[in-house]
Structure 1
């Protein structure tokens, strides 16, 4: 820390500290309000070859089409092997499917989006319903066939 002799410098330093504190608070609050999207990591090893999950790729493509949606989601990659510990901790052993979108407490709930609840957590565990949910929440196009 620097010694400050001028009262104007003290004000500048205090302003910088306050600004950094506000930035940290906003970053923390924004992260806390994000929904969590569990996806299988692309290029996993299964059946003696590299594979990817088509449903996970569909959702990754959707949020890549719409960066403003992607900014509201925390993506957590899961292994192909089970148990998938991050999902099990949040949703229970019976809910390890990927893709799964776990909604934060302030996210809206729509009755036509396949929403489920377990362990006090609200989630959607298939690509079509996740796509429908994101369309309802953000006004993006709906998945074909829904």
Structure 2
């Protein structure tokens, strides 16, 4: 029995660009190796033999220039420092607002200890005057 071999060369072209990427080449190789096609016995076994494929260097076409890298680094640094300055400013403004609120409420706490005892507010430096003292100091309320 004489075995006849048929050699078929198949040329494939990528849909976009000039080269296939590694994933596409692996998919094509997998599809061609797992064919269900069974040639007649006269043609012998079916083999898929792949030739080496020259991949596009991953750095070609996708590399950034030195100027672009420096620009991105400087812009990122300025943005980061601006965010830090904004956060510090917000914290200082919050503390300033809390102090202003505390100063604008003289009777926020009724007791000098800061605990509300339910009594009247205690004012520092306040003094009780008798009726006679008021009458004398106001020239009989005139």
TM-score (norm 1): 0.27
Q: Bigger relative contact order, structure 1 or 2, given CA contacts below 8 A and separation 6+?
A: 1
Q: Which has the larger radius of gyration?
A: 2
TM-score (norm 2): 0.28
